[in-house]
Amino acid sequence: MTSLLCPYCTAQFSAVDDAEAHVVAAHEATPASVVRLTAESVTRRAADAARALLRAFHRQDERAAHLFETAVSDAVTAASLARTRMATAYEVEFPWIESAQARHAGAAFVTALFLQDEIENWPRLRRHLPNERVAAALVCDPDESYPAGQATDRRWELVEAQLRSVCHATGVDPAYAERQTEFWRQHGLRRDGWEEIAHEAHLIKLRAMADETDRETLDRLARYFVAGVTRHDEWRLQSREADFETVERLVATYYQRLFDARNGGKERGD
């Protein structure tokens, strides 16, 4: 994937990495202790949540790569695993709702990701549409005619609809669906300003995940999210462990700080 490093993201890296120097040292000394913890069980939960989320995104990327190579069976398997991993992450993020609802939300989020991939990669995918198995593996309707440009592609409406389903299942403000869709659109177009939109979108989700947490803490968590997106952009898909190396600690720290914020703010059901 193309690196999208920019001044905004560089600032996020600096703010996150400088403040988390003690996390790096602790991680290198004892891998199980990814961050400063309130309890041993929370340590495992933060690490496991990070692993589930990252595996979901890695499987999402693998699905796209397999479709490019017309390795349809592998693409279908990767899609299924992405949904399963993201469902697990959503169960951790929203532990106070029914497990089935959380898993539905995670699956809907991944479907939105797949649609985003298909919009961004449509010129390349379209070349394979004579292959009926490739066409059947897509989320969008391969028989429809879609514009050449991403910006006005009407499939963004389908992306937003899937994200509204996420909001309905989790209690996240529906404004998240519009902002997250716009973040993905601008990010895919490599336009300046996608980072701010990503930050706005994630703040909306965080308000649902930790509703009694102060704005400063939520803002910091959103910066972790933006930094994680940028590191994800650098993945090469040659080795999952190599791809995870630069981001797993960051994501585990994000989850740990989320859990700590909940515990300090009378978290519901965690």
pLDDT at 2: 37
- pTM of this structure: 0.82
pLDDT at 145: 87
Mind giving me the DSSP string for the chain? ------HHHHHHHHHHHHHTHHHHHHHHH-TT--S--S-HHHHHHHHHHHHHHHHHHHHHHHHHHHHHTT-HHHHHHHHHHHHHHHHHHHHHH-TTS-HHHHHHHHHHHHHHHHHHHHHHTHHHHHTTTTSHHHHHH-SS-TTS---S-STT-THHHHHHHHHHHHHHHHT--THHHHHHHHHHHHHHTT-TTHHHHHHHHHHHHHHHHSTTS-HHHHHHHHHHHHHHHHHHTT--SS-HHHHHHTTHHHHHHHHHHHHHHHHHTT-S--
Domain residue ranges of the chain, discontinuous segments joined by +:
7-264
Query: Which stretches of the chain score pLDDT less than 70?
Result: 1-43, 265-270
